Structure 1
Amino acid sequence: MSRTLNTIFIAIILIFGAYLFGVSTFSPVEPVGRLNFVKMANPDMYPGHPSSEVLADYAKKRGSSTVMVVHYGGDSTYRRYMEGDVLIIQMAFVNPDSYRTDIDWSEVVSSFIFGVPEDKYRYRADGNEFDNLDDAMDYVMGIARSNGQEGPIPMYFHGTVREGNPIINPGCGFPLFVELSWKYYGRIATYYFIARALIHPFLNNPYANYELTHYQDLNKLYNQGDLDYTIS
């Protein structure tokens, strides 16, 4: 009996793995993980910042010329830029009703069960506003292809929080990460990507421990504007 169950379990894993591999071949993005817990300096999506270098290093390891990070839209234009020879594309979803930094648990539960409604948000990249996700992704993929991108773009969500515990709050860009994963990979795969994404920084971000052990001080400094630095 146990041997039969083991065989079934292994078969399910193999089928799921084959499904992910097959779908990823035709998907524009590869969901990777959460980038940060809090900001160490602001702006952090800028050449030479440690967080930016983490993105570029991962892209190089995957043989990708481009990497993408998604955000919860604020005042930024979310422009693309180069980190060394890697193009970092930014895209944000913009909630026309409000901008909030706390957790809307009803939205979290609804998104987890039903996905993100396609008509709920607008999207922004390079200062351009898009009414729907398809148009936004067409724009992003055009930029990536012009940079020589082959295959899916590794995709992170920013993950930073401004208040509260960053372990409880998944942070900036998480809903868009879920929406894109759901759109291109489906419900079950999205649950897998969420679990993997939340574990990712513990294994791949060399600054994760520092961020978590100093998040209260860093958030206080950030909210006071003391983490801002001048860009020449």
Structure 2
Amino acid sequence: MKWQVILLIVLALFGGYLVISTATGLVEPVGRLGLVKLANPDMYPGHPHSQLLAEYATERGSKCALVVHFAGDSNYRSYMEGDVYIIEMAFIDTSGTGAEGPTDYMDSLKLAFFGVPDGRYKFKADGQTFNNWNDARKHIKKLAAKNGQQGPIPMVWHGTARSGNPIIVQGCGFPLYFYITWQEYGPVAAYYYTIKGILTPYLNLPFRNYELQHASELQYYYTHHMLDYQ
């Protein structure tokens, strides 16, 4: 009985820490945004995933939202979706296999348990490259302040899987979401918000059934440039 009381106290303290820290921190980790691409680019004004992210922000009374990606050819420019300012940021893994390469699962486990070594990640946003998280963080804060943000910025990882089973493959930006949460709130919070975030699309994504049922088709269309919008 005593251990159960201790466990409840620990959980209560941990829950209180998460509530207080995220309420006063840079970001509010929300989770995975989408499962597969519906258009390319799909983080673009008027597109479904972009509109959904703006809804998440509006529900929280936020004027900004942050979506994180694997770095590709894009400049990851921020833009307005209705009344919400969407901040985009991508990461470059200088020791990884890239967005299109095979996943190194042993390396991923090391990063999950021990964190990302300093200097391994670089960051892209608004046509700029940042060599460290501090500089990238300042850029996010500057944009948010300029657009009247008060309180934490809702943060999602893009989540679209270009191949494989999207239930298993966590998609674009997953490592950066974990990394930012670790940097801002520590490893335990990173594990908690990542697990919680994996469930987000199954609870909140209005077109999850369509994306899951047509995942292989949409992935084929995307990789063969049949979803290109412009």
Query: TM-score scaled by structure 2?
Result: 0.95
The 5 A counterparts of 1:3-22 are 4-22=2-20
Name the structure 2 match of 1:184.
184
Q: What is the one-letter code of the residue matched to 2:148?
A: G
Residues 23-60 of structure 1 show CA distances to partners (whole Å, capped at 9, x for unaligned) of 22332111110011110111100011010010000100
Q: Runs of 5+ in structure 1 lacking a partner?
A: none
| Alpha carbons 2:99, 2:172 under 8 Å: kept | no
Q: Comparing 120-129 with 99-108, which one deviates more in the overlay?
A: 99-108
Q: What secondary structure does 1:229 align onto?
A: coil
| Alpha carbons 2:159, 2:170 under 8 Å: kept | yes
Q: What is the one-letter code of the residue matched to 2:28?
A: E
Offset of residue 18 of structure 1:
1.0
Residues 55-79 of structure 1 show CA distances to partners (whole Å, capped at 9, x for unaligned) of 0001000000000000000000000
Name the structure 2 match of 1:195.
195
Name the structure 2 match of 1:133.
133
RMSD: 1.3
Moved over 4 A (4+): none
Q: Runs of 5+ in structure 2 lacking a partner?
A: none
The 5 A counterparts of 1:130-169 are 130-169=130-169
Residues 111-138 of structure 1 show CA distances to partners (whole Å, capped at 9, x for unaligned) of 1101122210211110011110110110
Kindly indicate whether residue 118 of structure 2 is the aligned counterpart of residue 90 of structure 1. Answer: no
The 5 A counterparts of 1:1-232 are 1=1, 4-96=2-94, 98-101=97-100, 102-230=102-230
| Alpha carbons 2:57, 2:84 under 8 Å: kept | yes
Q: What is the one-letter code of the residue matched to 2:208?
A: A
Q: What is the one-letter code of the residue matched to 2:187?
A: R
Q: Comparing 25-34 with 126-135, which one deviates more in the overlay?
A: 25-34
| Alpha carbons 2:63, 2:147 under 8 Å: kept | yes
| Alpha carbons 1:115, 1:178 under 8 Å: kept | no
Instruction: Quote the sequence identity (%).
Output: 48
Query: TM-score scaled by structure 1?
Result: 0.94
Q: What is the one-letter code of the residue matched to 1:87?
A: Y
Q: What secondary structure does 2:88 align onto?
A: strand
Aligned residue-pair number? 228
Distance (Å, rounded) in 2 between the aligned partners of 1:166 and 1:25: 31
Distance (Å, rounded) in 2 between the aligned partners of 1:25 and 1:203: 22
Offset of residue 6 of structure 1:
4.1
Q: What secondary structure does 1:201 align onto?
A: helix
Offset of residue 103 of structure 1:
2.0
Q: What is the one-letter code of the residue matched to 1:18?
A: G
| Alpha carbons 2:66, 2:153 under 8 Å: kept | yes
Q: What secondary structure does 1:91 align onto?
A: strand
